Structure 1
Amino acid sequence: MDISGPGMNYILAALTILLAISLAFLARMAVRWLEAKAGETDTQWDDILVAAIGTPVQVGIIIIMSYFAVTWFDILPQSLQWVHDPRYATAFWIVISAWVVSTFLHSIIHIYGRAIAEKSASDMDDRLVDLLELVIRYVIWFAAVLAILKVFEIEITPLLAGAGVAGIAVALAAQDLISNFFGGAIISVDKPFKVGDRVKIENY
């Protein structure tokens, strides 16, 4: 059986993808080993770093090598030739970077923010930590989406304007809620009174 030409390209591409899966498996084992070693130290920074890069590295290995497999050996049909556009590679790196950074910052806030919040008798600190964890993820991924749109030369000004209008509408609709939230946050930070104190408000 003659496997030269296009047939050989498909075989080589398949072998490259299998190699990618094998390397990702080895990376997974390496990450687990690093996690075990990080758990033996007194600091949390190494745990946070390993957790942030572990899964993205494994996913990145498979995607990158699979991409090279189908492009190097030219096995893509005509309808998928758009994959050769370098902008998609740039978008991929933006996604991976956002994934690592958001996981890293989320872990820092979760570990150190919780540690600080546990020292407070109020549960407001815990709520602030939850809010900050959520906000940091949304901000990073929103920035990543804007960066990807810019890579593909998609005008983002209307999107930003729309987001601003939507933000104003939400703020106006929930101004009492927002006011109460920040009022509670200020009370939580300043701690003018503690649990058990009697607070008199007007005639109450």
Structure 2
Amino acid sequence: MNELKLLLPNHISTLYQQLDSNVLLLTATSFVVWLIWRVVYGRLEVLAERTSFHWDNLTLQALKTPMSTLIWCWPATISIGFLLQQQMGSKLNWLSTVKLILVIAIFLWFIMRLINNVEEYVLEQKKRDETTVQAVAKVARLFFLTIGALTIMQAFGLSLSGLLTFGGVGGLIVGLAAKDLLSNFFGGMMIYFDRPFKVGDWVRSPDRQIEGTVERIGWRMTIIRTFDKRPLYVPNSVFSNIVVENPSRMLNRRIYETVGVRYDDGSKVEKITEDIKTMLKSHPDIDANQTLIVNLNGFGASSLNIMVYTFTKTVNWIRYQEVKQDVLLKIIAIVADNGADIAFPTQTLKIDPTSLGELEG
């Protein structure tokens, strides 16, 4: 700061010294600068609204409050330091450190607001994966907060090399003590980058009693809402050791049914299977490009079993049930149109007439 004063012209340096020691002049200058900033911000806002580029709006919104705070807090810090120097009668060496910390804090505040604005804007567009956007935003916040903390420590005179050395030893101790916490943290990182599921997906695990809709993926745990509306709080490390099924990413849903026809209608089975297959191929909600099988599959206890194996175009569970119902009703109609009937469990009892005569005698 002193080197900067030497580079300034004499009249500007004199004005700077007056500003640095006159509370009233500092306050008046702050007010004037704030008014200029408000006018400049208003003009920039109008120009940003005219452009189709949204990032300038997000940057201006993030900069508005931090810049106003800096305009008032910087002179206020100098004024408070000047008043304390007058009372104590000695120069305050820590004042320059406070100014530097103020600038760092304002910069971090601006960056955090910018990250929040960008995150909200990208999520509103719904063109990017929600989980990935949130993960990138969290990593960005963590990165800048870490850099800011290290810069503030250096401003206080702490040696970063010594701090990093201590951090290596301390990190080993903390890692051993917080093994579960770290495993959950890295489990969350695995979910963010591998993306086996995202917020809003329906997931389930055959290894554990976990099934429901993902509500939130945190650094330590994932919140899953079950279908009976109970929340499940699952530590992220669990997902490293279990199989996770994601039905939300299905391409199709399967209809796999067995239709039983009476043995008396055996001569009509071939025509029935052909009609069912034709109906499925022409059905608007059936994906004919997937496997489609309609065949006599076996002899049941009281029916000739026809296997119906096909896939719907929709993956929505409610819509799937509607399509499945429509297909089954059409199959019933096809069986009836061929003069056949759906079988139901029956038993045939054969009585030997000789034995019947002995019983009557």
Q: What TM-score do the two structures reach when normalised by structure 1?
A: 0.63
Residue 106 of structure 2 corresponds to residue 100 of structure 1: yes
Contact map agreement 1:48 1:104 (CA 8 A) in 2:
yes
d(CA) in 2 for partners of 1:130, 1:165: 29
Q: Which amino acid letter does the alignment assign opposite residue 24 of structure 1?
A: S
| Distance in 2, Cα, partners of 1:180 & 1:70 | 51
CA apart distance, 1:30? 3.7
Q: Mind listing any 5+ residue stretches in structure 1 that lack a counterpart?
A: 1-11
Q: Following the alignment from structure 1 to structure 2, what is the Cα–Cα distance between the partners of residues 203 and 94?
A: 49
Structure 2 gap segments, 5+ residues each? 1-17, 50-55, 207-241, 246-361
Question: Partner of 1:90 in structure 2?
Answer: 96
C-alpha deviation, 1:178, in angstroms: 1.6
Match runs of 1:19-168 below 5 Å: 19-40=25-46, 41-42=48-49, 43-44=56-57, 45-68=59-82, 75-78=86-89, 81-83=90-92, 85=93, 88-118=94-124, 119=126, 123-125=130-132, 127-128=134-135, 131-132=138-139, 134-150=141-157, 154-155=158-159, 157-168=161-172
Separation in 2, partners of 1:26, 1:179: 51
From the superposition, tell whether residues 37 and 167 of structure 1 become closer, same or farther in structure 2 (CA, over 3 Å).
farther
| TM-superposition CA deviations, 1:136-189 (whole Å, max 9, x none) | 453133122222232xxx55555434433443444442232022211111134x
Q: Which residue identity lines up with residue 70 of structure 2 in the other structure?
A: P
What root-mean-square deviation, in Å, do the aligned CA atoms of Structure 1 and Structure 2 show? 3.9
Which TM-score applies when normalising by structure 2?
A: 0.40
Kindly tell me: are residues 51 and 142 of structure 1, through their superposed partners in 2, closer, same or farther at Cα, counting changes over 3 Å? Answer: same
Q: State the percentage of identical aligned residues.
A: 14
The amino acid that maps onto 1:37 is R
Name the aligned partner's letter for residue 100 of structure 1.
I
Q: Aligned equivalents of 2:243 and 2:163: distance in 1?
A: 46
1 or 2, which has the higher strand percentage?
2
Q: Is the CA contact (8 Å cut-off) linking 2:203 and 2:244 kept in structure 1?
A: no
Q: Which has the higher contact order (CA 8 A, sep 6+)?
A: 1
1:65 to 1:133, Cα distance in 2 relative to 1, 3 A: same
Give the count of matched residue pairs: 179
Higher helix share: 1
